[in-house]
Amino acid sequence: MSSASLSRRLLAWYDRHGRKTLPWKRRRDPYRIWVSEIMLQQTQVTTVIPYFNRFIARFPDIKALARANLDEVLHLWTGLGYYARARNLHKAARHIVEVHASVFPRRFEAVADLPGIGRSTAGAILALAFGQRHPILDGNVKRVLARYHAVDTLLNKRETEDRLWQLAEKHTPRTRVADYTQAIMDLGATVCTRTKPRCTACPLRTDCHACRLGAPQDYPVRAAKRSAPVKATRMLMIRDQRGRVLLQRRPPAGLWGGLWGFPECADGNARRWCRQQLGLNIQTDAPWPVLRHSFSHFHLDITPIPAHVVGGTDQAMENAETVWYNVRRPDQRGFSAPVKRLLEQLRSMESN
């Protein structure tokens, strides 16, 4: 099949089956498309939609996002994961206000230079918002092209990446670029799925090499999966006499960067650690059951340890990085999913 034939079939399929009612598709607003593309990185559409709607309701434009406090941005991102996306989105909004007079740029180089945006995301935004012709290569597109051409080299190799970019460029049409871009992403997300691809529903099946070989699931070719390592931490849920719990803001970079969480104690003696690190005398209670949280490359086993302060809380004064948090009156700040879950359990215990 020629490149023109592939795009024609894909566009005809999109006209009948494409996801045209997604909330960021209602108008070609580059801001809404940008937010959606960032949220959709590593995340499924069904998960993203409610987060997107809440985010846009609170931050309807670039200026509103740029003016916002990072805590509020992270609060609306809580549970969506990959929090660097939210930090970069906020940073990029401020850059657009300062450098581009609050107008989303149209030049590819200017978009690709924004925090959190690479070549594929920049191309997708400009194609979807302005109809500019740029190839894209997100996970769904890689899968479609690798299967269609039976690309038999490892997906994580540079030569494979270069080959897939060449194919993406080759197949991107000169007209209806926005529809084509959405179509190939939709095909990968709904038909040419990673597991159990629905080849009988695919408009490209007659010329798809992987389908002809009867082995679509063998493509893209991935390295043998290693078992994910398990790490462990202990989170101290320290309460004061008023029932407030001590929270600390995590460093801006690294795991859960910029989010609020419980102090994490590496020392086997939690009481000694608290005296040395927090200036607090505490009494610990029996640990709660271990809570496992899985990331893309490892599992984290969290042991929640309830504790209470002995002798007053004035030793640990509040500051920009430490607060005594009232679980009965939650405010707008960002939490990781396991911390949010533990806070909800504490709140439930308070109400019983």
**Phi, psi angle pair for 113, to nearest 5°:** -85, -10
Whether this prediction's pTM lies above 0.85 is answered by yes
Q: Residue 253: pLDDT band by 50, 70, 90 thresholds?
A: confident
Q: Which of 37, 264, 344, 350 is catalytic?
A: 37
Q: Residue 331: pLDDT band by 50, 70, 90 thresholds?
A: confident
- Structural domains for the chain: 3-218 (1.10.340.30), 230-351 (3.90.79.10)
Q: How many angstroms separate the Cα of 172 from the Cα of each of 82, 136, 167, 281, 322? A: 29, 9, 9, 64, 51
Q: Give the Cα separation of 203 and 158 in Å (integer).
A: 29
The answer to whether residue 1 scores a pLDDT higher than 70 is: no
**Contact in structure between 238 and 308 (CB atoms under 8 Å):** yes
Of the candidates 189, 192, 219, which has an alpha carbon nearest to the alpha carbon of residue 204? Answer: 192
Sign of the Cα torsion 194, 200, 202, 208 reads: positive
Q: What is Dmax (Cα atoms) for the chain?
A: 77
Of the candidates 92, 97, 98, 60, which has an alpha carbon nearest to the alpha carbon of residue 76? Answer: 60
Sign of the Cα torsion 320, 324, 327, 328 reads: negative
Q: Give the Cα separation of 205 and 132 in Å (integer).
A: 28
- Say whether 344 is catalytic: no
**Contact in structure between 308 and 240 (CB atoms under 8 Å):** yes
Digit-coded pLDDT (tens) for 99-148? 999 999 999 999 999 999 999 999 999 999 999 999 999 999 999 999 99
